Amino acid sequence: MYNKGTIIPGLIIFVLFVTFPIWFNGLKAGTLPKPELPPGGEKKCVMPVEYMRANHMQLLNEWRDNVLRDDNRTVVTVEGKKYRKGLQMACMQCHSNKEKFCDNCHAYTAVKPYCWDCHLTPKEAASKEETH
């Protein structure tokens, strides 16, 4: 073998790059996030849980477009219960704890939704009630 001095370190660097997740995690898979269920004990949502787990961001995006861009504030009625379209007006009414419900999974998968650029969490909203 020729040029051992450069090829062997090069190959070691390559293998280290490829196996990055193995040594970075140190074989610890971490804990799976468990979003907190509504503290009020509600069991029904606008959609089944499987759909919400996979598609909630698309539903929220659609509602955002409906309300802000198309001025369509039609109330969503699911099994007799009425929901106004909105993160604070619908979702956060039951899932009142953003930190324990939203952030749990978002932090796990490095998702940074920009909902909170405009919206207030229930906690923030409560503290700002007097100003508007």
Partner 1 sequence: MKYAFSFLAVIALILIAGLGSQIPGMQYFFGVAIPYLAIMLFVGGFVYRVMQWAKSPVPFSIPTTCGQGASLDFIKQDKLDCPSKTSEVVARMFLEIFLFRSLFRNTKSEIHGGPKVTYESSKWLWLFALLFHYSFLLIVIRHMRLFIDPIPFWLSAIEGVDSMLQIGAPTLYLSSLALLGGLVLLFGRRLVNAHVRYISLNNDYFPLVLIFAIGLSGILMRYFLRTNIDIINIKNLAMGLVTFSPVINVKIGAIFYIHLFLVSTLLAYFPFSKLMHMGGVFMSPTRNMANDSRAKRHINPWNDPTIKPHSYAGYEDEFREFMVDAGIPVEKELSAVQDEA
Give the binding site for partner 1 (CB under 8 A). Answer: 1-4, 7, 10-11, 14-15, 18-22, 24-25, 27-30, 32-33, 50, 53-55, 57-58, 60-61, 105, 107-114
Q: How far is the CB of 29 from partner 1 (least distance, A)?
A: 4
In the bound state with partner 1, the residue whose beta carbon lies nearer, of 80 and 114, is 114
Asked if 105 and 35 count as a contact pair (C-beta separation under 8 A), the reply is yes
Q: How far is the CB of 7 from partner 1 (least distance, A)?
A: 5
The CA-to-CA distance between both ends of the chain, in Å, stands at: 76
In the bound state with partner 1, the residue whose beta carbon lies nearer, of 3 and 74, is 3
| Residue 118: φ, ψ to 5° | -110, -45
Show Cβ contacts of residue 87 under 8 Å, excluding neighbours closer than 6 positions: 60, 63, 115, 119
In the bound state with partner 1, the residue whose beta carbon lies nearer, of 24 and 129, is 24
In the bound state with partner 1, the residue whose beta carbon lies nearer, of 14 and 81, is 14
Q: How far is the CB of 131 from partner 1 (least distance, A)?
A: 27
Q: Scanning the structure block, which residue is given the tokens 């020729």? A: 2
Using only C-alpha atoms, the chain has a radius of gyration, in whole angstroms, of 23
